[in-house]
Structure 1
Amino acid sequence: MSSSSSMNKYWIPHLDIHKKVITQELQFYLGPEATVRSFTRDGEDGFLITTPGACLTDEQIDDICVKSKEMWEKQAAARAAGAATRVLKRPLHQPVVISKAGASESTRRRRESRRSNETRSRRDERRRN
């Protein structure tokens, strides 16, 4: 393995690059001694690439960006599918409907109206007697 003094260091911005993709692809492009890690340069997030040779070419970076986009799309699709079939972690805390606006409100009003009419009918009947 080469000493760190004979290694070249390059920084590239993180824009459009998924960390997992660049980590998986870097040694394929630059050899087994190449490493990558997150690194902030002048306040901008990116990746510090250490390699014995030259850095990634534009074509290699484009390929990493395309693979990164595919990775994000797969992750988004997995999240969307998981949200639809997600089982509650605490099924005992599943919400129970007490009342719903709309149909139950009108049912409650009808019930209250019926009670009110029954009360009036009883009162009227008592007055007559």
Structure 2
Amino acid sequence: MNRYWIPRLDIHKKIITQELPYYLGPDATVRPYTNEGEDGFLITTPGPCLTDEQIDDICRKSKEMWERQAAIRAQEADKPLKRPLHQPVVISRGSDDSSRRRHEAHRSHERHRRYDDRRRD
């Protein structure tokens, strides 16, 4: 099996996943892959990789998909969102201030006690 990497630039994951078996056969696979810090796709196939024309076709279809998605979002812009975009979602909460103050006071007391013990020696 041959493995090829192509950059993610202008390629929608759904499109390349749909089109790859059409271009390279049913044994070809694609998955996200980072090569030297650049995001892209790792293609595994028994034959040659995609041609420039095939990649151009995937890029064109990707652009069409993004445009359709943008048009749908624009039509739905008037609908209120269930929650605003980028609203923080609490995963966990730290302790409240009173317990933090107790912890800091305990640590301060421990430091002073250790200092006093050293002075006695």
TM-score range (shorter-chain normalised) is: 0.5 to 0.7
- The percent of aligned pairs where both chains have the same amino acid is 77
SS at match of 1:11: strand
SS at match of 2:64: helix
Aligned to 1:113: none
Greater gyration radius: 1
Question: 1:1-129 maps to which residues of 2 (within 5 A)?
Answer: 7-84=1-78, 86-87=79-80, 89=82
Shift of 1:83: 1.4
Give a deviation string over 1:31-66, Cα, whole Å, max 9, x none: 000000000000000000000000000000000000
Runs of 5+ consecutive residues of structure 1 not aligned to the other structure: 1-6, 91-129
Shift of 1:87: 4.6
TM-score between both structures, scaled by the size of structure 1:
0.62
Runs of 5+ consecutive residues of structure 2 not aligned to the other structure: 84-121
Work out the number of aligned pairs and report it.
Answer: 83
SS at match of 1:40: strand
- Residues of 2 paired with 1:20 and 1:89: CA distance? 26
Q: What's the RMSD between the two structures over aligned residues?
A: 1.3
